[in-house]
Amino acid sequence: MKRYDVVILGGGAGGLTVASGAASLGAKVALIEKSDRLGGDCLHFGCVPSKALIEAANEINYSSVLSQYGFDVSGRATFSHVKERVKAAISTIQHHDSEDRFEKMGVDVFFGVGEFVDEHHYLLKDGQSLYGKRFVIATGSRPIVPPIKGIDNVQFETNETIFDLEDVPSKMIFIGGGPIGLELAQAFSRMGTETVVVDRSDDILSKEDGEIQQLATEFLQKDIDFILGVDVKEVKQEGATKTVIYEEQGVTKEISGDALFLGVGRAPNTDGFGLEEIGVKLDKRGHIQVNDKLQSSHSHIYGIGDTNGQFPFTHAAGMEGKLVVQNAVLGLGRKVSYKTFPWTTYTTPEIFHVGMTEEEAKDTGKEYHVYKSGLDDVDRFVAEHKTTGMVKIISDKKGYIIGAHAIGEGAGDWMQTVIFAMEQKKKVGDLSQMVYPYPNHAAAIQRAADQYWREKLFNGIVPKLTKKYIQWFR
């Protein structure tokens, strides 16, 4: 039997973060991955391939702009070329997540499945038994296949299969209007596919600030057809044609296409290896119930990433992985906080979110202030003819930032300054005091933050006092 200080289940972003951190601190570490390669869903089926696809789609879409300069551009995207771009990106990043790299760090890497024998022993199917002082469950999640009538008889795609398509579909129907579905629907639309999103909700991007949501919806409607507020009753297939039958206000309707994508959510990979059998508590959806130190009902077993149901993002798993290294290896007892946790929806334009929305701030019943700027007021965006979007910063009554939101080209990059300001407990006015090289995309933040000082200095009694001061002393 092999004995370890930390045994990690799952070789995705969270598991790799814990493995490298723990090994670097001198812990004896085992990393178990059920597939035959490290990197996890994000690298092979999620973030990396989808962003490579989005970039390729945008480049194809931008080619239409060439006609403005006298070029004659025609033809249809060849998906095999797009897939080559996707695979090249995965291959480059895979090198950093290779088995050899982690073994050189001192991590023992095992490929295969197994199960808990008890709360400290894990048995691999090949017969190897591992003892762990502490365990970290970082097994990720998988696409949910909803119990729709006929689904077992229809060929459908998920984020794990869509990159295996042979060609760009003529028409693709997306069941589910979450971020993954929206990103991919817009990308395929820009490659020439007619895309339709069908969702039971009355609107999309429901977690976003209301103004951002409205603007994003208006923009996405240029690329995607939406059928919202409906219940999907059945799916069927005849030949290559897939048909979705849905009910809208009591009326049965249907829509057909040559491809079907399921994007109704994800389920945690916490079943099949004995967690419940050893007493680890799960919620109704299968997520590991953890405390603010990311410990499960067994204090030496931690749950991070998609397994704990907090935020289903790669950067959440990475952040939680760093905290678990401090707690599991060093025993520091650090507590996780999501107050300044950001996310970006990588549609075009991008949608950035951190902290409270205005609706959430209003629900608190406390005083708050809003500072906004449209991108059409920012010279860099005007010069690039990419003025669709806005920045919105929300503060408490003292000026401390409690939320920030943006929609615009590259918003996920140039809004990072606001995250740092929130983490350092800076005020909105501090963002105005920075020097932004001209012309700069992040000047959108400055434009919004300038309003803080306009309210402080140019309204109320201050202008009256300065006027008297100038008259008397200047």
Annotated binding site for NAD(+): 176-183, 265
| Peptide linkage before 146 cis (omega within 30 of 0) | no
Binding residues: 51, 114, 139-141, 176-183, 265, 306
Which DSSP state fits 260?
E
- Nearest partner of 333 among 305, 369, 293, judged by Cα: 293
Closest by CA to 59, choosing from 191, 193, 223, is 191
First-to-last C-alpha distance (Å) of the chain: 85
What residues are designated binding site for FAD? 51, 114, 139-141, 306
Confirm if 378 and 447 have CB atoms less than 8 A apart. Answer: yes
* Best CA proximity match to 418, nearest among 397, 445, 398, 395: 445
Give the integer Cα–Cα distance in Å for 234 and 239.
17
Instruction: Give DSSP secondary structure letters for 386-425.
Output: ----EEEEEEETTSBEEEEEEEETTHHHHTHHHHHHHHTT
**Concatenated DSSP letters of 8-52:** EE--SHHHHHHHHHHHHTT--EEEEESSSSSSHHHHHTSHHHHHH
CA distance 409 to 387: 8
DSSP helix/strand/coil, 353: strand
How far from the centroid of its chain's Cα atoms is residue 319's Cα? 13
